[in-house]
Amino acid sequence: MTRSALFRFAFKTTIPVLLGYSTIGLAYGLLLATSGLPWWLAPLSSVVIYAGAAQFMSIPLLVGGAGVAEIAILTFLVNARHLVYGLSLIKPFGEAKRVRPYLVYALTDETYGLLTTVEAPEGASKTAFYGLVSALDQSYWVLGSLVGALAGSLVPPSWTAGMDFALTALFIVLLVEQIKSSPKAAPYLVAIAASVIALAIGGPDRLLVFAIVLAMAGMLALKPIIDRRDEKGTGG
Amino acid sequence: MNANLLASLVAIFAAGLVTIACRATPFLLFGSGRIPPFLDYLQRAMPPIVMTVLVFNSYKALFPQGPSWDFAVAPMAALSLVVPGAMAALLQFWKRNALLSIVGATALHMIMTRLG
């Protein structure tokens, strides 16, 4: 397979991500620039952080002057799912060698989804395919956030008000996809209970961290029961 | 460079380091072994938990809060959050086109907040 054929295949593979990243990256850049932060923080974050939910979440925190520790902890909680993504890619990335650090750094939800579902074309280097998909995905995100941030520094904020709902919609979409792929009810119910308790006790400002920690504790406490139900094959 | 901007830059680089650390951990820890059962159990529960809490967090304004248990938003503002959100969920269940669900729901939200 020639290099240009491999590039075309990788590009075709990433078209859904192109649509998603360019628009959501655009919304991110717009939101950042219209919330009073310097526009160039958007493309910088897209290179330095490169994690959509964490970047959106960081905007109000940066505007509000939150501490470094608070942003670091929240980023950890939002990105903790990445602690386990790599588990299924340890083998596939094994032969990547020099490119591996980049592949690990660029492992977003969407890139993870593509790399674990789409096979590299026959006769092509797996490493080259992984690298192309990862780099294409990131280029859409960086360019989207750059264009959005530049537009946001020109467009009046009243035009873009409400655009941040895209993040809520994104989370709803990801939740729906999660329910489809992992339909057992227990973690969702535990998470709702944890959220209600966290809101009642800790208030709205600490909800995210408090609720996730509470839900993890709840799931660990329920482990014996859930394990038993799984053994019986009744599901949850 | 003013102090706020410097603090923002430090925070962004901290968030970047945390993100890389999260992504690299499984490769560093389990590059050549098995993960302990309780961690495997927890990692399977994490995506549902995180997504549920993130959605709940987006809707926290709908709940009475604070010492006086007042609602944070007016009924029309609440509707402009709930209706587009329900539309995003239904569209996604039905069509499974993330872009359509997100753009459609956001457009509806922006229209409703301008009419309301």
Which position has the token pair 């032969």? A95
Provide the mean pLDDT of chain A: 87
Q: Which of residues 20-79 of B touch A (CB under 8 A)?
A: 20, 22-27, 30-31, 35, 38, 41-61, 63, 65-66, 72
pLDDT surpassing 70 at residue A234:
no
**What is the pLDDT at residue B65?**
67
pLDDT digits (tens, 9 = 90+) for B19-68: 999 999 988 887 766 667 887 788 778 778 878 998 998 898 888 765 66
Which of A72, A87, A169 lies at the smallest CB-CB distance from B26? Answer: A87
Q: How would you class B3 by CB atoms within 10 Å of its CB: exposed for 0-12, middle for 13-18, buried for 19 or more?
A: exposed
Q: Of A200-214, B3-17, B53-67, which one has max mean pLDDT?
A: B3-17
| Nearest CA-CA distance, residue A200 and chain B, Å | 7
The string of pLDDT tens digits covering residues A220-231 is 999 999 988 887
pLDDT computed for residue A36 by the predictor: 85
Q: Which residue of B has its CA nearest to A226?
A: B41
Pairwise CB contact (< 8 Å): B88 & A93: no
B83: closest CA of chain A, how far (Å): 11
pLDDT at A31: 85
Residue range A206-224: average pLDDT? 89
Q: What is the pLDDT of residues A30-89, one digit of tens each?
A: 889 988 899 999 999 999 999 988 998 899 889 888 889 889 988 998 887 787 777 778
pLDDT at A235: 47
> Is the confidence at residue B70, as pLDDT, over 70?
no
Which tens digit of pLDDT belongs to each residue from A8-47?
Answer: 999 988 887 887 788 888 889 988 998 889 999 999 999 9
Contact B49 A54 (CB under 8 A): no
Which chain A residues have a beta carbon less than 8 Å from that of B58? Answer: 167-168, 171
Across the interface, which of B26, B57, B113 has its CB nearest the CB of A207? B57
pLDDT of B112 above 90:
yes
Is A50 an interface residue toward B (CB < 8 Å)?
yes
Q: In this structure, are residues A73 and A179 in contact, taking their beta carbons and an 8 Å threshold?
A: no
Q: What is the pTM of this model?
A: 0.70
Mean pLDDT of the A135-140 span: 96
Domain boundaries, chain A: 3-181, 184-236
**Residue whose tokens read 């329900």:** B86
* Most confident among A174-188, A206-220, B9-23, B68-82 (mean pLDDT): B9-23
CA distance A3 to chain B (A): 29
Å between B4 CA and nearest CA of chain A: 7
Instruction: Write out the DSSP string of B38-104.
Output: HHHHHHHHHHHHHHHHHHHHHTGGGS-BTTTTB-SS-HHHHHHHHHHHHHHHHHHHHH--HHHHHHH
| Interchain proximity B106–A38, CB inside 8 Å | no
Closest Cα in chain A to B63: A199
Residue A10 CA neighbour count, 13 Å, CB half: 23
* Two tokens, residue A181: 């792929």
* Structure tokens that stand for A221 in this block: 């406490």
